[in-house]
């Protein structure tokens, strides 16, 4: 059975003290909750990973990275490799967030390299994809997502998918307060599962968790999570408050 996952992408927010406090706050609010088959994940910035890992000890909260460089090592000032993440005890990394694509020019080809590097280093990847507003308006959202998946993900082998989580994040719904309707999310998630089945077979398609991200809040989480192919969420703004994030976890 595939896992339910609620993941908080903190983006460039929270200093060390705030990161520790937020992890403690979330832990307090979810203590006593039954989290059967559910993973709770937070993604602090690189500089706060060590402190966050320490704060998450003896809690159900997993700490993951927001990005990594595809190269093994070398002259890439300011970058962080898979090996460095592993050295800290990080097991999972987000790859292909739309802000990385649009603000830092990460192309499908670069993201294919990043995915390969993550998997070859034994890291689990949360691979993000999604269409822009123009593509949605032209009714090209399925085509666009299909192409992002083919260009970056489909070089992987079926067995690599035990270390892949997918996250559909329509760009027009990120940080805008606008969410995909539960029906729009379900349409895309079912499409992705179908594409996965065609390429890799039923076992991969049935066992890969597909998260929805884009203005998930305590007041809309339950309805979105109720959809058959939505296995959880990747949360931005609402993951920065222990109370809101915990309410979203409880909605899964
Ligand atoms: O980008 C997101 C998660 O990665 C979603 O952000 P918001 O929840 O702030 O829309």
> Is 102 close to ligand 1, i.e. is its CB under 6 Å away?
no
**Among protein residues, the one whose CA lies closest to atom 2 of ligand 1:** 236
Class at the top of the CATH hierarchy for domain 4-250: alpha beta
Nearest ligand 1 atom, CA 97: 4
Please give the sequence-ordered ranges of beta strands (E in DSSP) within the chain, or none if there are none.
4-9, 38-43, 61-63, 92-95, 124-129, 164-168, 210-212, 232-235
Mean pLDDT for the chain overall: 97
Q: What percent of the chain has pLDDT over 90?
A: 96
HEC letters along 31-77: CCCCCCCEEEEEECCHHHHHHHHHHHCCCCEEECECCCCCCCCCCCC
- pLDDT confidence tier of residue 66, bands split at 50, 70 and 90: very high
pLDDT of residue 1: 84
Q: What is the mean pLDDT of residues 129-151?
A: 97
User: Residue 11 annotated as binding?
Assistant: yes
**pLDDT given at position 248:** 98
Q: 25 in the Ramachandran plot: left (φ > 0), alpha (ψ -120 to 50) or beta?
A: alpha
pLDDT band at 178 (very low <50, low <70, confident <90, very high): confident
Residues 230 and 171: their CA atoms lie apart, in Å, by 17
Residue nearest to atom 3 of ligand 1 (CA): 236
Which pLDDT belongs to residue 90? 98
CB 164 within 8 A of CB 156: yes
Is residue 121 within 8 Å of 82, Cβ to Cβ?
yes
Closest approach atom of ligand 1 to CA 214 = 10
pLDDT digits 0-9 by tens, 148-167:
999 999 999 999 999 999 99
Confidence bin at 214 (pLDDT 50/70/90)? very high
Asked if residue 93 has pLDDT above 90, the reply is yes
Q: Is 96 in the pocket of ligand 1 (CB under 6 A)?
A: no
Q: Kindly list the domain boundaries of the chain, sorted by start residue.
A: 4-250
Contact 173, 179 (CB under 8 A): yes
Which pTM was predicted? 0.98
- Measured in Å, residue 214 CA sits from the centre of ligand 1 at 5
Q: What is the pLDDT of residue 175?
A: 87
97 lines ligand 1 (CB under 6 A): yes
DSSP assignment letter at 205: H
Question: 177: pLDDT confidence band, cut at 50, 70 and 90?
Answer: confident
Residue 201 CA to ligand 1 center (angstroms) comes to: 30
Q: Which atom of ligand 1 is nearest to the CA of 175?
A: 10
> What pLDDT does 141 receive?
98
Please indicate whether residue 169 is annotated as part of the active site: yes
Is the pLDDT at 65 greater than 90, yes or no?
A: yes
- The secondary structure of 186-201 as a DSSP string is HHHHHHHHHHHHHHH-
């Amino acid at each position: 059975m595939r896992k339910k996952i609620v993941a908080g992408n903190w983006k460039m927010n929270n200093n060390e003290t705030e990161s520790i406090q937020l992890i403690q706050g979330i832990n307090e609010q979810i203590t006593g909750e039954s989290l059967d088959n559910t993973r709770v994940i937070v993604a602090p910035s690189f500089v706060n990973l060590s402190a966050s890992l320490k704060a998450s000890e003896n809690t159900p909260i997993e700490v993951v990275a927001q990005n990594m460089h595809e190269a093994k090592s070398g002259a890439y000032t300011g970058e962080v490799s898979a090996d460095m993440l592993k050295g800290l005890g990080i097991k999972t990394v987000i790859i292909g967030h739309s802000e990385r694509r649009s603000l830092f020019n990460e192309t499908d080809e670069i993201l294919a390299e990043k995915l390969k590097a993550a998997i070859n280093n034994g890291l689990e990847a949360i691979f993000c994809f999604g269409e822009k507003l123009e593509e949605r308006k032209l009714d090209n959202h399925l085509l666009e997502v299909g192409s992002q998946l083919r260009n970056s993900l489909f070089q992987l082998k079926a067995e690599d998918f035990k270390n892949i989580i997918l996250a559909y994040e329509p760009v027009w719904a990120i940080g805008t307060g606008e969410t995909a309707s539960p029906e729009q999310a379900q349409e895309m998630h079912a499409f992705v599962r179908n594409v996965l089945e065609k390429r890799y077979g039923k076992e991969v398609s049935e066992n890969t968790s597909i998260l929805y991200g884009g203005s998930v809040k305590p007041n809309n989480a339950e309805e979105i999570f109720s959809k058959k192919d939505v296995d959880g969420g990747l949360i931005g703004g609402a993951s920065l408050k222990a109370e809101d994030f915990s309410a979203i976890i409880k909605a899964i």
